[in-house]
Structure 1
Amino acid sequence: MKKDLRVSLGQVGDYEIRLLKVFEAVVESGGFSAAESELSIGRSTISTHIANLEERLDLKLCRRGRGGFSLTEEGVEVYELMKGLFSAIEGFRAGVNALHVRLTGELRIIVSDAICMDPQSRLPDAIARFSDAAPEVNVLLDVKALNDIERMVLNDEADIGLIPFHRQLSGLNYSSLYADHFHLYCSRTHPLYDAEPSDDLQDKVLASKVVHAGIHTSPEVGSQLADMNKAAISYFYEARLAMILSGAYVGFMPDAYVESQVATGELKPLIPEIKHYSLEIAAITRTHGRANRPRDLFLQMLNQLTQTDLN
């Protein structure tokens, strides 16, 4: 029956670490004599250290005699546990040392339309925190079309992309941040703005000319547009909003983006109980590539901010 090391050993301090280092050298050298040159100490001293370690562990670790040096079953297990301990210590040391390395270089963030000023994105807050934590990192922030963002991140032309989640590409990591909610809007000058609820209102809405992004973003969006009169294409929200404000078109817009126009009565949602959908907003990064501490720090801050809002 194996002994309970937690009861026998107690705390592991510098003394135990030194004894384990001797044990490591003996095992990897193949015996006491062979370890003398490695440790620069005599065989009798090595023997004393191993005896002390065995006493501390209350275990027999090795056999030595005419048959040569060999490990006991417990010695093999202690050796494996010891390697894990040394690896953890080294990982801790490397991590602490990395904290003292200054963050420099460039952080390239490319976002999809309207995310920059979406209050749910918390992007300005994340940039402010990052600027305080890494003042020597130059931040590049730009807006691109959805497919361009995916391509740029995959090609290492951008470190982070913020996009509506619409598909999962090989080579990209996805981190969900929050959801944008959309309704179908018309402007004050559209014929349906003052329309009263009626049996044929839905038919009139479906017959109205709708402006849309012109790309497939999700099955839910496709389903909402499938029965509509798709008469115009405008990818970016700013341009799409202008088309809707013209009074000639209706169109889906993020509720947060048009909040001020709804508050002033310039826009109103049409049959909101039917015409609505949600889009998950995700941060994308390359699956493989060099270590990038500025990217990882910014993502950590962005996730903390958006997840705090969700909770």
Structure 2
Amino acid sequence: MAGKIAALAQIADLDLKLLKLFKTVVECGGFAAAETELNISRSTISIHMSKLEARLGLSLCQRGRSGFVLSEEGAAVYQAVNRLLEQIEDFRSQLNGMHVQLAGELRILTSDSVLLDPRCPLTPALGEFARQAPKVRLALDIEAMGEIERRVLAEEIHLGVIPFHRELDGLDYLPLYQEQCYLYCGADHPLFAEHDDARLTARLADYPLAHAELQTHPEISRQLAGFRREGKAYYYESRAALLLSGAYLGFLPDQFAAPYVAAGRLRTLLPQQHHYRLGMVAISKRHARVHRPRDQFLALLRAQLARQGGH
């Protein structure tokens, strides 16, 4: 009996196809009857059965002129196969149920006006996630990017969306889209009516610049060099307010500034010379605790990027 138990314990390592074939043969009452059910020849069934017996080290049945008869070992294996297949089905059902019953909270922070940019895949992904996981409570807010990085690393939030400005150990980065930034001034600024590029270039250093006061990547640092960085305004809305006051110059993303430009309240200055790109990324903690709503949302975000042709 100990030998039988040891042999049956090997079932977990066997090819499930062979076990299912054996189950069908038993339930059909023999090789001949199983031919139609399995849609393979009797000789092929015999080969598979021999392979299964060899792998188990057991004789499962007698076949011949006297007909198909299960051995004692074969009957025990048949019962074990039924239990195994039932457990596999239970496991599959539980997994499916887990996907359907996502619950808890998904906390996301974005930097500034990311969600208003039509190129950002976050908004459609949020809509799809809400439909797929209605029991998950979404918490979405805006924060400075340094704070977003800190809170993702501390696992206080699950996902952040920021301009890519550095790569930190412990974070994964998913590129989303590119943001183009230009230099602007307001309609009441002395340079608004100046259209001579040479005079504009010469006069830029005469006026204060509103900026985020962050240590950023080299391209932005080069663009800020030579300006009088006297106005601190991290968020785009507050920076735009300083520009609209007529007292400051400043860089803004083109999508954010477009309505003000169309209304004649802002003007782009020397766009061929003064511009830089921001790569927007979604950040999540590498090796974070398991959190299925976050993983599901990231999968939806990647699918949305694929639909937009970005990945």
- Take 2:245 and 2:186, find their aligned partners in 1: how far apart are those partners? 7
Confirm or deny that 1:303 pairs with 2:302: yes
Question: Relative to 1, partners in 2 of residues 1:123 and 1:18: Cα closer, same or farther, differing over 3 Å?
Answer: closer
- Take 2:279 and 2:90, find their aligned partners in 1: how far apart are those partners? 38
1:189-213 Cα offsets, whole Å, 9 max, x none, are 1111111224232121233211100
Identity %: 36
- Take 1:111 and 1:233, find their aligned partners in 2: how far apart are those partners? 20
Structure 1 residue aligned with 2:137: 138
Structure 2 residue aligned with 1:155: 154
- Take 2:19 and 2:140, find their aligned partners in 1: how far apart are those partners? 49
Question: Relative to 1, partners in 2 of residues 1:256 and 1:292: Cα closer, same or farther, differing over 3 Å?
Answer: same
Look up the SS of the partner of 2:134 in the other structure.
Answer: coil
Using the TM superposition, give the Cα deviation of residue 222 of structure 1 relative to its aligned residue in structure 2, in angstroms.
0.7
Gaps of 5+ in 2: 1-13, 23-45, 58-86
Structure 2 residue aligned with 1:200: 199
Look up the SS of the partner of 2:126 in the other structure.
Answer: helix
1:268-299 Cα offsets, whole Å, 9 max, x none, are 11000000001111111111122222111212
* Larger CA deviation: 152-161 vs 98-107: 98-107
Using the TM superposition, give the Cα deviation of residue 99 of structure 1 relative to its aligned residue in structure 2, in angstroms.
2.7
Q: Which amino acid aligns with 1:292?
A: H
- Aligned 1:265-276 pairs, distance under 5 A: 265-276=264-275
- Take 2:17 and 2:109, find their aligned partners in 1: how far apart are those partners? 52
Using the TM superposition, give the Cα deviation of residue 175 of structure 1 relative to its aligned residue in structure 2, in angstroms.
0.6
- Aligned 1:1-311 pairs, distance under 5 A: 16-17=18-19, 55-56=50-51, 97-101=94-98, 102-311=101-310
- Number of equivalences: 245
Question: Relative to 1, partners in 2 of residues 1:201 and 1:134: Cα closer, same or farther, differing over 3 Å?
Answer: same
- Take 1:152 and 1:283, find their aligned partners in 2: how far apart are those partners? 13
- Take 2:272 and 2:182, find their aligned partners in 1: how far apart are those partners? 9
Using the TM superposition, give the Cα deviation of residue 176 of structure 1 relative to its aligned residue in structure 2, in angstroms.
0.6
Contact preservation (8 Å) 2:182, 2:254: yes
Contact preservation (8 Å) 2:208, 2:230: yes
- Take 1:282 and 1:235, find their aligned partners in 2: how far apart are those partners? 18
- Take 1:148 and 1:168, find their aligned partners in 2: how far apart are those partners? 15
- Take 2:90 and 2:218, find their aligned partners in 1: how far apart are those partners? 48
TM-score between the two structures when normalised by the length of structure 1: 0.71
Using the TM superposition, give the Cα deviation of residue 306 of structure 1 relative to its aligned residue in structure 2, in angstroms.
3.5
Using the TM superposition, give the Cα deviation of residue 217 of structure 1 relative to its aligned residue in structure 2, in angstroms.
2.4
1:101-125 Cα offsets, whole Å, 9 max, x none, are 1100000001111112222213332
1:77-131 Cα offsets, whole Å, 9 max, x none, are xxxxxxxxxxxxx999867642321100000001111112222213332221111
Using the TM superposition, give the Cα deviation of residue 221 of structure 1 relative to its aligned residue in structure 2, in angstroms.
0.7
Contact preservation (8 Å) 1:181, 1:276: yes
Question: Relative to 1, partners in 2 of residues 1:200 and 1:304: Cα closer, same or farther, differing over 3 Å?
Answer: same
Using the TM superposition, give the Cα deviation of residue 227 of structure 1 relative to its aligned residue in structure 2, in angstroms.
1.8
- Take 1:205 and 1:222, find their aligned partners in 2: how far apart are those partners? 16
Question: Relative to 1, partners in 2 of residues 1:134 and 1:146: Cα closer, same or farther, differing over 3 Å?
Answer: same
1:228-272 Cα offsets, whole Å, 9 max, x none, are 121111111111110010000010001111111111111111000
Look up the SS of the partner of 1:126 in the other structure.
Answer: helix
- Take 1:251 and 1:269, find their aligned partners in 2: how far apart are those partners? 10
Using the TM superposition, give the Cα deviation of residue 18 of structure 1 relative to its aligned residue in structure 2, in angstroms.
6.0
Question: Relative to 1, partners in 2 of residues 1:93 and 1:117: Cα closer, same or farther, differing over 3 Å?
Answer: farther
TM-score between the two structures when normalised by the length of structure 2: 0.71
- Take 2:286 and 2:56, find their aligned partners in 1: how far apart are those partners? 45
Contact preservation (8 Å) 1:117, 1:123: no
Using the TM superposition, give the Cα deviation of residue 14 of structure 1 relative to its aligned residue in structure 2, in angstroms.
5.3
Contact preservation (8 Å) 2:18, 2:49: no
